[in-house]
Amino acid sequence: MKRLITGIVALTTLAVGFWGCNDLSRTTYSGSDYVMFSDTLSMYPVQDSEKWFEIPVTATNICDYDRSFGIEVDDKASNAIENKQYMVESNTVTIKAGERVANFRMKGIYDNIDKTDSLSVTFNLLVKDENKWDLYGTRTRVQMQKACPFELSTFEGNCLLTSTFFNAYMTKTEHRLLQTEREASEENTVILHNFFYKNYDIKIKFDPSDPLKPFVEFDDQIIGSTAEAFGTIYGNGKLMCTQPVAYDSYYNVCQKFVFLYMTIYVEGVGAVGTYVNILEWISDEEAEQYKKEEGL
């Protein structure tokens, strides 16, 4: 996602203090007067139905009068329904005299967005042809997704683990039913008991600071023994896990899952490989049903 304001700042750096439009008492900026959305694409995590999401509209010139522009929805390029899944504050936006930026505002309707919905709205800024910058155009697309409030309790209790490690080294295992509990001494951290092998737990930590970056992290830790995993002892016999540099692990509160990348290695020997682990938190009833089906 490229912020166009960067280009605008670069464009106007040479004209600091210059004014355009009808203010002839100052040196005028001779460039074209373009008006556009500052972003061509925005990501909007809908956390409630009260908070407004602001979409900046930017002009290259400052004028000594207010400028108002209409904004319309491109229905063919949108799949969200206005006044059902989102609403706009106004169908116009006004850049005040002496300013270059104004905010067009919308908000999602939390209860009408499903946890699996991937919605988008495309808006078109109505400006005169001479105010259009062909390089950027007059459209912006807003991607909306429901972002349930973070509660660590979502990730406690019964957890069903599916892993590509099973395919490689635990071929008789399709899933593992784990028990998860809060780590009392570490914030936003849970313990996953008997992760791959019995008596080997791991801890993962959630970062709820940014709903657009729901990342999970973990420290290097022992995940098993080489004897149990490979039938023999390699190195110090400890099977370790670490976070791979190339991939981010993440969580989804609404859908109660964690997508966990993990590189497994043996100190002094080398990496075994990088594996994908899908953790799904399920109810007690679902856990009991799983146990019956698996004969546990």
Sheet harboring 92-95: ordered strands across? Answer: 41-46, 139-146, 119-126, 67-73, 92-95
Other Cβ atoms closer than 10 A to 176: 19
252 to 11, 37, 85, 208, 249: CA distances (angstroms): 40, 30, 20, 11, 11
Q: CA angle, 81 as apex, 79 and 86 as ends, to 5°?
A: 115
The tens place of each residue's pLDDT in the chain, 296 residues long, gives: 333 333 333 333 323 333 456 543 444 445 688 999 999 999 999 999 999 999 999 999 999 999 999 999 999 999 999 999 999 999 999 999 999 999 999 999 999 999 999 999 999 999 999 999 988 899 999 999 999 999 999 999 999 999 999 999 998 899 999 999 999 999 999 999 999 999 999 999 999 999 999 999 999 999 999 999 999 999 999 999 999 999 999 999 999 999 999 999 999 999 999 999 999 999 999 999 999 888 87
- Is residue 85 within 8 Å of 111, Cβ to Cβ? no
Which residues of the chain are in CATH 2.60.40.10 domains?
35-146
Q: Please say whether the structural domain 35-146 has been given the CATH code 3.40.50.1010.
A: no
Q: What is the pLDDT of residues 240-284, one digit of tens each?
A: 999 999 999 999 999 999 999 999 999 999 999 999 999 999 999
Q: What is the pLDDT of residues 63-103, one digit of tens each?
A: 999 999 999 999 999 999 999 999 999 999 999 999 999 99
Separation between Cα atoms, residue 74 and residue 108, nearest integer Å:
17
DSSP secondary structure, 17-48, as one string: T-B-TT-TTSPBP-S---EEESBSEEEEEE--
Q: Residue 205: what residue type?
A: K
Give residues with Cβ within 8 angstroms of 66, minimum separation 6.
94, 95, 96, 97
